[in-house]
Amino acid sequence: MLTGKTAIITGANRGIGLATVEAFAKQGAVVWACVRTQSEEFEQKMKEISSEYATTITPVYFDVTKESEAKEAVKMIGGYSKGIDILVNNAGISVERLFSMTSIETIGNTMEVNFLSQVRLAQLVSRLMVRNRTGSIINIASVSGIESEQGSIAYGSSKAAVIFSTKTMAVELGKYGIRVNSVSPGFIDTDMWKNRDNDVSDRIMTRTPLGRKGTAQEVANVILFLASDMASYMTGQNLVVDGGRLGWGY
């Protein structure tokens, strides 16, 4: 599905990001796996996946919130690649805190990581995509950006911004052959959910028709679909991967 394609994936060291690296590698993509902090464990994992699927995976280290670092990373990747075909904006943080107890600083930081960094990378990478008049950008949002939830003023607001900005990017970049879509996971079995309040987790499970948490691999499969030519006429869409949770109603 992705043979000959070059992809940038942020937040590639765990959860949905790591699952997406593996899904893309399995389908023949050349992957630039981006994380903030270098580690032997991460590099070894990338080598293992690269070897298993006989493709190239290159670790890249930079902080997505630092404009200078992001620019340097994209410049470096662009210098080695004939073009960037896919960007998966996955890096993010989760904050669960009541509105009255959430500082403006916390909200600002969450917006910087989850929303502004995505816009920044999309701007930088889309400039390379425009040259070849093709490309697919997938921004990772969340059902928290659609459905109001206690304790989600920072996280939910940042993800709502991701969904809106995705549609705007799609409108503006479509004339260059660049597709932009978002994916909104629900209750997924990743580290991000491990520290959630048990009452919140239990309530969400009772409202999930499939009756279970999703897996990172299931989300990665949707990202893979959007990145591939199978979704060649899809842009400006937000695909919800939540086991039917939003269909339950508010």
What is the distance between the alpha carbons of residues 168 and 190, in angstroms, rounded to a whole number?
Answer: 29
For residues 135 and 129, is the Cβ–Cβ distance under 8 A?
yes
- Residue 32 to residues 49, 162, 164, 167: CA-CA distances in angstroms? 13, 22, 26, 25
What is the distance between the alpha carbons of residues 63 and 91, in angstroms, rounded to a whole number?
Answer: 10
For residues 143 and 184, is the Cβ–Cβ distance under 8 A?
yes
For residues 189 and 143, is the Cβ–Cβ distance under 8 A?
no
Which runs of consecutive H residues, i.e. helices, occur in 92-197? 104-111, 117-132, 153-173, 191-194
DSSP state of 195: T
Strands (E), the chain: 6-10, 30-35, 57-61, 86-89, 135-140, 178-185, 238-241
Closest CA to 155 of 167, 168, 142, 165: 142
**Is 155 one of the annotated active-site residues of the chain?**
yes
Residues composing the chain = 250
Q: Which of 80, 155, 176, 233 is catalytic?
A: 155
Sheet holding 30-35, edge to edge: 57-61, 30-35, 6-10, 86-89, 135-140, 178-185, 238-241
Catalytic residue list: 155
